[in-house]
Amino acid sequence: MLSNKNNKINPFKSIILNPLLGFKRSWYISIKPLYSLIMLLGIGICLAAGIWQYQKSQFYLAPVAQQVHMKGHYLNEFTHFLDNQTLHGRAGYAVITPFVYEASVYLVNRGFVSYESRDHLPRVAPIIGTVTLTGLVLTNNIPMLLNSRLLDPINNRIQYIDNKYFSQLTGKTVVKDIFHLKQGAGLQTLMPVKAPYLSHHRHQGYALQWLLLAVAGLIILVLSSIKTGLKMNSPSGEKS
């Protein structure tokens, strides 16, 4: 037979391409129930956390409050101590006392007091008589807590401020907003008020992070469920 360049065997084609041409690639979904359940649970948690952080960011969209004045008297017997407060590296409480102003009762955040021992609450002098207070009226945002109990074993120490609790305690309707005392009788160590603008954008950033984690988890779940298989094609004319 005459040599023909077209009849020459191409080593690349015979060694590499021919085996691949005899296979057919197929794509399919393989779902592992336990793995998928764990991933979906994680995605759900990330989405819930993102929604929660976004809702928290909305609390800080209210315009910055202006200083207001209130003239009335304290209900000293109902003073409570808000736990988990820090100031300049010291641990302590925020002093919360109901205050009667005209026909309303406000909860006044009187500032910070430190403590020497958590076994005993610090002493705060009662304020007698009619006084004038100057401060800010701000929205009270109840945090998300695993333990929903308002009081701990020590009486008058609270983990968050709940106007409904104080309404039951005083027998009067207590305003939901909190009056942050800046000047006037009963002021302890002044506590700074966080900037609403920064708080709003910080929580939006947290919400975006949780959303991206949820998206990443969904992509990983989808990609890990896609499988590829190689199936051999039977050569044409092959006899069994």
Residues 6+ apart with CB under 8 A from 236: none
Task: Reduce the secondary structure of 49-96 to three states and give it as a string.
Answer: HHHHHHHHHHHHHCCCCCCEEEEEEECHHHCEEEEEEEECCEEEEEEE
- Strands 174-183 and 104-114, by their bridges, are parallel
Question: Which one-letter DSSP state was computed for residue 239?
Answer: -
Residue 188 CA from chain centroid, whole number: 30
One digit per residue, the tens of pLDDT, for the chain of length 240 reads 455 555 555 555 554 555 555 445 566 677 788 888 999 999 999 999 999 888 877 766 655 567 899 999 999 999 999 999 999 989 999 999 999 999 999 999 999 999 988 888 999 999 999 999 999 998 887 766 655 555 567 889 998 899 999 999 999 999 999 999 999 999 999 988 765 555 667 888 888 999 999 999 999 988 888 876 654 444 444 444
